Amino acid sequence: MTTPLNALPQVGAPATRALDAAGYSSLRSLAGVPRKELAALHGLGPKALDLIERALAEHGLELG
């Protein structure tokens, strides 16, 4: 199932809270953000980052 651009991918509660707290409310808002910047968020681990990258790739987008 493709994640809509106006929603966050299902990455788990801690990662979702971290993204919300950092101001990321949708998949579209994550496009172009450096992976290193997201990795620095408490609660966002390698598995969540991989899921985000895969969700972005489904739309032809990527992290910065």
For residue 62, being part of any structural domain is answered with: no
pLDDT category of residue 47 using cuts at 50, 70 and 90: very high
Please check whether residue 3 lies inside any domain of the structure: no
What secondary structure, in 3-state letters, does 8-63 show?
CCCCCHHHHHHHHHCCCCCHHHHCCCCHHHHHCCCCCCHHHHHHHHHHHHCCCCCC
pLDDT at 1: 73
Could you tell me if residue 19 is inside a domain? yes
Residue 26 sits in which domain range? Answer: 13-57
On whether residue 7 sits in a domain, the answer given is no
Which CATH number is 47's domain given? 1.10.150
Average pLDDT in the chain = 95
pTM for this predicted structure: 0.93
Q: How far apart are CA 45 and CA 61, in angstroms?
A: 20
Domain count, the chain: 1
